[in-house]
Amino acid sequence: MSKTIDLSDGDRAIIRRLQGDLPITAAPYRAIAGELGIPAETLMERIAFFRANGLLKRIGAIVRHQNIGFVSNAMVVWRVDERGIEEAGTLFAAQEFVSHCYRRKPLPDFPYTLYTMIHAASKDECLSRAGTLSRLANISDYRMLFSLKELKKVSMRFF
């Protein structure tokens, strides 16, 4: 059974502000607290409360890959057995050109269990980076699914 948590107007203001872009500064939460007119400690306490009570899962940054020169992106799906998936996932996630790395249950017609998102300046570089991962983990059964068009890249809005 889920519990209901009453949010104050101040809590709603914090959540509303966290839905937007983080300020580009060395202390973004201090800047947000200033915008909201509350002490930074209060903001951090409320964020901790939201996390502890399951109201906040994560705060993430959306990087516009194309704006920084990564115009080729590919989801690489790997067929890895259960015995090797933790090791391969840890190895892949450590590579600077991999932004996402996660496990999925295999499907009858799609037996891939490990997914990585690779970013590069060109399709050839993406191919090369996938080859590097393949050699590092000694996994040869993989497919590359190249991004054709970005359809959505926005944060959730609750208030």
Indicate the SS3 state at residue 42: helix
CB 50 within 8 A of CB 43: no
Q: Which helix (H) or strand (E) holds 78?
A: strand 72-78
Q: What are phi and psi of 68, to 5 degrees?
A: -110, 15
CATH of domain 65-146: 3.30.70.3460
The confidence score (pLDDT) of residue 52 equals: 92
The confidence score (pLDDT) of residue 38 equals: 97
Residue ranges of the chain with per-residue pLDDT less than 50: none
The confidence score (pLDDT) of residue 77 equals: 97
The CATH 3.30.70.3460 domain(s) of the chain lie at 65-146
The residue to which tokens 């992106």 are assigned: 73
Report the C-alpha gap between 29 and 25 in whole angstroms.
9
Output the pTM of the full model.
0.61
Report the C-alpha gap between 73 and 125 in whole angstroms.
10
